[in-house]
Chain A
Amino acid sequence: DAKTTQPPSMDCAEGRAANLPCNHSTISGNEYVYWYRQIHSQGPQYIIHGLKNNETNEMASLIITEDRKSSTLILPHATLRDTAVYYCIVRVAGYISGSARQLTFGSGTQLTVLP
């Protein structure tokens, strides 16, 4: 799986959009970008994933650049409860590769939402 690079920490004002960047310059054509977050002392929570098109769900939006070498997770209106470590992970989807693939977590970005 391709490696990812994320800033170690970011701050965001409550109510504002939080934009979390991720670089994955060695991503392959069949690798997806997944985002998870982990609130202190809880299990990781799935947020969103995408291949090459931008994706949006009730939690966030995922913007992937045309060359797929980087992406941005957008939390449109950050709240204090969004304070967490955000992980960007690149992996081949298991149902494509024919075998399930574990997630390889890096260090993530500690997002702190400030009141």
Chain B
Amino acid sequence: DTGVSQDPRHKITKRGQNVTFRCDPISEHNRLYWYRQTLGQGPEFLTYFQNEAQLEKSRLLSDRFSAERPKGSFSTLEIQRTEQGDSAMYLCASSYLTDTQYFGPGTRLTVL
């Protein structure tokens, strides 16, 4: 069990650019979550997948954000037309039968 992995670990981009992050969950975990964490705050839920189906989305997930999990394994989170307010740590977590969520190391996004 190699744990949840995320790529890249750090991303610096200019305002208006698009960015995409990848999350690889723990093998056989059918549930995958995305969270966002800004400085000094706890993580906030963005969206959730069960297998390939996106079942829940937070109001924080504006129309510039889109997430996919095409084959029920890895997931991608894309932010279009990035804004400085998108600067944050983006965290991925996965779970299975016990529903205990295990987190990856996160992707830190800086929008200049």
Contacts and interface: CB of A to CB of B under 8 A. Distances in A.
Interface residues of B, number: 29
A46 B102 contact: yes
A100 B50 contact: yes
A43 B101 contact: no
A86 to B, nearest CB: 11
User: What is the predominant secondary structure among interface residues of chain A facing chain B?
Assistant: loop
Interface residues of A, number: 24
Given A103-B101, A106-B42, 16 more contacts: A36-B103, A41-B108, A43-B91, A43-B105, A44-B91, A45-B103, A95-B99, A99-B55, A100-B31, A100-B56, A100-B95, A102-B48, A102-B58, A103-B43, A103-B45, A104-B45
23 contacts: A41-B89, A42-B105, A43-B91, A43-B105, A43-B106, A45-B103, A46-B101, A85-B42, A87-B42, A94-B95, A94-B99, A95-B97, A99-B55, A100-B50, A100-B99, A102-B33, A102-B45, A102-B48, A102-B56, A103-B35, A105-B44, A107-B42, A108-B42
